[in-house]
Chains A and B, each alone.
Chain A
Amino acid sequence: METALIAPANYFILSVPTVIFSFVIPIVGVSLFAYIMAIRIAPLVLAAPDFRFNRYMERIIKVLRIWLLQYRHPRYKTAGIIHIMIFAGFLVLSIRSTSLVIIGISENFVFPGLGGSLGIVYNLFKDYAATVVLVACFLAAYRRIVVKPERYAVPSKYGKDHTFEAVFVLGMIATLMISESLFEASAAVAQAQAGLHVEFIAPLSLAWIFKVMLGRVSTETLQAIHLVMYYIHDLTFFSFLCFLPMGKHFHVITSFFNVFFMRIDRGNVKPVRYGVADDQLDDLESFGVKKLEDFTWKHILDFYSCADCGRCSDNCPANAVKRPLSPRFISIKARDLIFKNYPLYPYGKAFNKGEELMGNIYEEEEIWSCTTCGACEQECPLGIEYIDKIVDLRRGMVDEGMVPQSLQKPLRALEKRGNPWGKMEKKRADWTKELPEGCEVKIVGKKESADTLYFVDSITSFDDRMQAIGRATAKVLNAAGEDFGILGKAEKDSGNEVRRFGEEMLFQDLKDQNTEAILNSGASRIVTSDPHAYNALKNDYVDLPPVEHISQYIARQVKSGAIHLKAAEGNGKVYTYHDPCYLGRHNGVYDDPREAIDAIPGIKRVDMEKCRDRSFCCGGGGLMLFYEPEEEQRMGVLRVEMAAKAGANVIVTACPFCLVNMEDAIKVAGMEGSMEAIDLAELVESHIVSV
């Protein structure tokens, strides 16, 4: 095809062929990129194992939803839409950019398959894509520079502001878009001026606008623009490629893999070390994460993939009450340490392996501050995990004896007595004594058996207030005609938090004792009113009978007609349901508790703004009740304020720990009289009509 301008592949400057640059730039660029990537991959190779090469169908679905369709992005509307624009544009333009590199060598290169009409369609798309990306870049830069959303801020203790890096990359992207469009537009104008065939340019696209603007420019100038823009694009393209692994834009490369390998199961905790069975844990030299290379390769990949968007920390309840924890910086600090310990230059510099993390990049209080509520993971658009890392870091601290005194006591009591208060085992079933006649609770075991085992767990067994939940649950089970019993003193703490606070061996002990007692009881089903127990039994224990939370049980029994509920008294009460983390986010039980409440005729229920998978943690359960965090206020106080804002005056929880925290928070917030908290089992029980 005849062209009015000389292509970069054929041009000479002072008898030097520019095609040399077309070779040199990609070769240098790709080599440099390969070198950087090799060093970036080193810590992945040295890291602990992680079994993620499995369940490919589920992983592909994750990639389609979360990576390709950007499913989580619109949870933050403006930023999400801008990101989708840039992401989609990049996908479209990746072909064009690759073609352009080769066009610099061979003028008439056409990407395989894009020769015919498909090519015309593609060109239409890529013209608009470049335009959309450029617009998105300006919007993004405006947000970064002018709007400055709170979640992008870097508190001084975590180092300098990250705005420059963000804006610099936006500038690079804009340069790519503009240079590509000018390259194309200059050729089109020259063709038109020479009366030759003009490639179709999508109307109102960036290239189209440039074409209009360049309409009267001389051929010499057009030639210069054409050539210069080509090499600006070429240089920027490879600079951009090499710049990506230097910071938060590494996610452009890693996000696909990170989402592919992301966790599939929820509610569970990673094993101490993949490939080591529970009964071989004693043989391990060291437990948990103490140095960088103790993280699994997926967790290192997580650090690389963090886009610094701050969504995790924006949803983190610990961060909200100013505990010294911000999940975003768990990633950013580790990433920076990797960059520091695995330097790119000088070439061949030894890696600084094995540096202790605690006291270096992480603080003990930081790692103990996490309630493992899972809000961060629910939000992350890149599938980054936090709970497993926190648990692994805690395992490391426990192994080194670095456990605050406030937690040592309950842990010792759990070891000796099977409950964190050190109460005597024989008093574990004392709460049943106050049950009315006709509602006796069997102690199952050697002598007696029952179809259903009610797993009570420690707080409901021993705490004066929470025992009421136990009694309400027993009455509900009784009303539904269930043949049920409890384990009594054979029951130990489920250990949900023992495990999540890093004391794996103690958890294994508790698990073994409970498993034996449960299997001995002969029960064919388990029901519990404590979501922490529910989670542990369901996700941490193995080979148990099926487990149900009381809210699921109630919803089921109401539907089947086994339980009849009377109408709510019309006394101005407006209820709101607070999703417990270990029922909602970790186990996906959102609807059953709501159905159970709504089954009470005439009850008025509203949802809080932060509900379901964005529920805001009450302050944490299990051992978190004993930990004394540095914080400016209580999570529970924020939560009861949210309930008030939603127009509710009764908070319904479905977890004894939530109830403790809510009742405390109501007192602290001075909202006694205007707000109350009640457990779902208590609420339902008080509306049961015996038939």
Chain B
Amino acid sequence: MAGQIFAYIRFKDGVPDDSALELVAAAKKIAADASVSALVVGSGVDAVCNEVVSSYQEVWKIDSDALAYPNAEMIRKALINILPKDCILLVPHDTFGMDLAPGLSIKMDSAFVADAVDFEGLEGDTLKVIRQEYGGAVTTHVNCDISAGAVINVRPGSFPADESKAAGGAVVDKSGEAGDMAAGRRYLETVAAEVGDVDITKEDVLVSIGRGIEDEDNIEIADDLAEAMGAVVSCSRPIVDAKWLEKSRQVGTSGQTVKPKVYLACGISGSFQHLGGLKGNPFVVAINKNPKAPIFQIADVGIEADILDFLPELTDAISEQ
């Protein structure tokens, strides 16, 4: 087998992302006995290092004022200097991972696999990876030659977080080896999404609508149900793209991350970009007229029905009680 396995730790405001512990599980799926190290890159990252150190054999940190914002172009330069040539690097497949990883694999001269959802073992230098294509409609096995190392983007949420904290390693400061990070791309600012009238991230119950709502006028149907349930309406990306609801109502990787207790997915097929915004293991009810919709895979309860017919029935029944 190739060299060491590294996991890139994403964090925000000093708190590691859920993916930090998911990558431990992912690495173990590649090789159960692998030694896994974490990479923590940023400015003032000690708190993050301390958070994850119990789950990784080693935590390599690059701490630099220049990295106050995670500029993938700069971080890539630093990683090239510190990472061993034949290592396997696991990166969360989010907007940062998509920015960083493909180019990094070229610079490391290693293989690249995007958006892995599972691993099916390692045979010699060949790692068998499971991916999805066509928005999750089909799944594929991919063979990846890791003889010269690999950069693998792992879909957030596809591995259970490894809470064992059994590694208990040490923090290694690699800041000195990072080298010149000056890049042709300079971060300026983050323009916050417009805040809407409701904050769906703080709601316990969401009635979420997707393409199945078919028409802007039908949104009323969802509004009525939400009102009857004491819930709030959220949606998937197509609804925002059609400008039927504002961006602040969108659940997904390009929208809001929500942590409700109950999530009613109405006419939502369940792309991973949408499910990427659904955290906290809610009770998911999926209502969709297509029995093959991927949403039924992750839902707790499924109902095969046209939401335009079903939701009003549900609303009436709830109102009567």
- Residues in A lying within 8 Å of B, measured CB to CB: 406, 628, 634, 664, 667-668
Q: How far is A664 from B217 in the complex, measured between Cα atoms in Å? A: 9
The minimal Cβ–Cβ distance linking A670 to chain B, given in whole angstroms, is 10
- What separation, in Å, do the CA atoms of A667 and B312 have in the docked complex? 10
Give the Cβ gap from A459 to chain B, nearest Cβ, in Å.
14
Can you sample 10 A-B contacts with CB below 8 Å?
A: A406-B242, A628-B216, A628-B242, A634-B217, A664-B215, A664-B217, A667-B308, A667-B312, A668-B217, A668-B220
Residues of B near A634 (CB, < 8 A) are: 217
Counting chain A CB atoms within 10 Å of each CB, the highest count among B216, B217, B308, B312 belongs to: B217
Known pairs A664-B215, A667-B308 / 8 extra A-B pairs, C-beta < 8 Å: A406-B242, A628-B216, A628-B242, A634-B217, A664-B217, A667-B312, A668-B217, A668-B220
Point out the residues of chain A lying under 8 angstroms from B312, CB to CB.
Answer: 667
Instruction: Provide the residues of chain A in CB contact with B308, threshold 8 Å.
Output: 667
Residues of A within 8 A of B242 (CB): 406, 628
What residue of chain B has the Cβ atom nearest to residue A665's Cβ? Answer: B217
| B66 CB to nearest A CB, Å | 41
Contacts of B220 in A (CB 8 A): 668
Q: How far is the CA of A33 from the CA of B216 in the complex (A)?
A: 54
Bound CA span A95–B228, Å: 76
Which residues of chain B have a CB within 8 Å of any CB of chain A? 215-217, 220, 242, 308, 312
B interface: dominant SS:
helix
The 4 residue pairs across chains A and B that have the minimum distance between CB atoms:
A668-B217, A628-B216, A634-B217, A628-B242
Chain A neighbourhood of B217, CB < 8 A:
634, 664, 668
Kindly provide the distance from the CB of B109 to the nearest chain A CB, expressed in whole angstroms: 41
**Which residues of chain B are within 8 angstroms of A664 by Cβ–Cβ distance?**
215, 217
**CB-defined contacts of A406 to chain B, threshold 8 Å:** 242
| In the bound complex, CA of A634 to CA of B216 (Å) | 11
B115 CB, min distance to chain A CBs, angstroms: 25
In the bound assembly, the distance between CA atoms of A628 and B216 in angstroms comes to 8
Residue of A at shortest CB range from B217?
Answer: A668
Chain A interface, >50% SS class: helix
A634 to B220, CA, bound (A): 14
Total number of residue pairs linking A and B with CB closer than 8 Å? 10
Smallest Cβ-Cβ distance to B216: which chain A residue: A628
Residues of chain B within 8 A (CB-CB) of A628 are 216, 242
A370 to B142, CA, bound (A): 51
* Cα(A664)–Cα(B309), bound, Å: 11
B308's nearest neighbour on chain A, judged by CB, is A667
A668 and B242 CA atoms in complex are apart in Å by 20
B89 to chain A, nearest CB (A): 39
Residues on the A chain within 8 Å of B215, using CB: 664
Q: Please report the C-alpha to C-alpha distance between residue A668 and residue B312 in the assembled complex, in whole angstroms.
A: 12
Chain B residue at smallest Cβ distance from A406: B242
CB-nearest residue of chain B relative to A633? Answer: B217
A411 CB, min distance to chain B CBs, angstroms = 17
CB distance from B216 to the nearest CB of A (A): 7
The distance from the CB of A617 to the nearest CB of chain B, in whole angstroms, is 17
Chain A residues contacting B216 (CB-CB under 8 Å) are 628
Chain B residues closer than 8 Å to A668, beta-carbon distance: 217, 220
Give CA–CA (A628, B220) in the complex, Å. 16
How far, in Å, is A673 (CB) from chain B's closest CB? Answer: 12
Find the A residue at minimum CB distance from B289: A464
Report Cα–Cα, A448/B217, bound state, in Å.
45
The residue of chain B having its C-beta at the shortest distance from the C-beta of A625 within the complex is B215
Least CB separation from A637: chain B residue: B217
Which residue of chain B lies nearest to A668 when distances are taken between CB atoms in the complex? B217
**What's the least CB distance linking A404 to chain B, in Å?**
11
Enumerate chain B residues within 8 angstroms of A667, measured Cβ to Cβ: 308, 312
Q: Write the nearest CB–CB distance from A434 to chain B, whole angstroms.
A: 17
How distant is the Cα of A214 from the Cα of B242 in the complex, in angstroms?
Answer: 75
Q: In the complex, A666 Cα to B216 Cα: how many Å? A: 16
Q: Chain A residue with minimal CB distance to B243?
A: A628
* Alpha-carbon gap, A668 to B214, bound state (A): 14
CA–CA, A406 to B242, complex, Å?
8
Inter-chain CA distance A126–B312, complex, in Å, is 69
Residue of A nearest to B214 (CB): A664
Residue in A closest to B244 when the chains form the complex, CB atoms: A628
A660 to chain B, nearest CB (A): 10
> How distant is the Cα of A634 from the Cα of B215 in the complex, in angstroms?
12
Tell me the bound Cα distance from A628 to B242 in angstroms. 9
Q: How far is the CA of A667 from the CA of B218 in the complex (A)?
A: 9
In the complex the two chains form, what is the Cα distance from A664 to B308 in whole Å?
A: 10
* Distance A667 CA – B217 CA, assembled complex (angstroms): 10
Complex-state Cα separation, A475 to B39, whole angstroms = 70
**Complex Cα spacing A419 to B220, Å:** 29
- Please give me the residue from chain A that is nearest to B220 by CB atom: A668
Docked pose: A226 CA to B215 CA in angstroms: 72
- Complex Cα distance, B220 from A145, in Å, reads 43
**A672 nearest in chain B by CB position:** B312
Distance between A145 CB and nearest chain B CB, rounded to angstroms: 41
- Give bound CA distance, A678 to B85, whole Å: 71
Alpha-carbon separation in the docked complex, A535 to B216 (Å): 30
Closest to B306 in A: A464
Min Cβ gap B315→A in Å is 12
B225 → chain A closest CB, angstroms: 14
- Complex Cα spacing A589 to B216, Å: 34
Measured CA separation A668–B218 after assembly (Å): 8
Chain B nearest CB, measured from A457 CB (Å): 20
B257 to chain A, nearest CB (A): 27
Distance to closest chain A CB from B271 (angstroms): 18
Q: Which A residue sits closest to B221, measured CB to CB?
A: A667
A664-B312 Cα distance, complex, nearest whole Å: 13
Shortest Cβ distance from A126 into chain B, in angstroms? 59
Query: How near does chain A come to B228, taking the closest CB pair, in angstroms?
Result: 15
In the complex, what distance in Å separates the CA atom of A667 from the CA atom of B219? 12
Q: In the assembled complex, how far is the CB of residue A321 from the closest CB belonging to chain B, in whole angstroms?
A: 12
Question: What separation, in Å, do the CA atoms of A668 and B220 have in the docked complex?
Answer: 9
Can you name the residue of chain B whose Cβ is closest to the Cβ of A634?
B217
Provide the bound-state CA to CA distance between A406 and B215, in Å: 12
- Cα–Cα distance between A664 and B215 once the two chains are bound (Å): 10
Report the separation of the CA atoms of residues A668 and B215 in the bound assembly, to the nearest whole angstrom: 11
Alpha-carbon gap, A628 to B238, bound state (A): 14
How far does the alpha carbon of A628 sit from the alpha carbon of B219 in the complex, in Å? Answer: 14
- Closest CB in chain B relative to A620 CB, distance in Å: 13
| Alpha-carbon distance A664/B216, docked complex (angstroms) | 12
Q: How far is the CB of A403 from chain B (nearest CB, A)?
A: 16
**How far apart are the CA atoms of A414 and B216 in the complex, in Å?**
23
- Min Cβ gap A124→B in Å is 63
Nearest-neighbour CB distance to chain B for A545, whole angstroms, equals 37
CB distance from A409 to the nearest CB of B (A): 11
A131 to B215, CA, bound (A): 59
Shortest beta-carbon distance from A88 to chain B in Å: 49
Shortest distance between the CB of B108 and any CB in chain A (Å):
40
Least distance between B146 CB and chain A CB atoms (Å): 40
Cα–Cα, bound, A406→B312 (Å): 27
Bound: A396/B312 CA distance, A = 43
Closest residue on chain A to residue B241 by CB atoms: A405
Interchain CA distance A193-B39 in the complex, whole Å: 121
Minimal beta-carbon separation of A623 from chain B (angstroms)? 15
B64 to chain A: closest CB distance in Å?
A: 43
A566 to chain B, nearest CB (A): 30
Docked CA distance A664–B220 (Å) = 13
The smallest beta-carbon distance between B317 and chain A, in angstroms, is: 15
Q: How far is the CB of A86 from chain B (nearest CB, A)?
A: 45
Smallest Cβ distance from A212 to chain B, in angstroms? 67
How far, in angstroms, from A628 to B214 measured CA to CA in the complex?
Answer: 11
C-alpha gap A265/B180 in the complex (Å)? 77
Q: Considering only CB atoms, which chain B residue lies closest to A465 in the complex?
A: B306
Shortest Cβ distance from residue B215 to the other chain A in the assembled complex, whole angstroms: 7
A603 vs chain B, min Cβ distance (A): 29
Quote the shortest CB–CB distance from B45 to chain A (angstroms). Answer: 43
User: What is the CA–CA distance of A667 and B308 in the complex, to the nearest angstrom?
Assistant: 10
CA–CA, A406 and B238, complex, Å: 12
CB distance from A654 to the nearest CB of B (A): 23
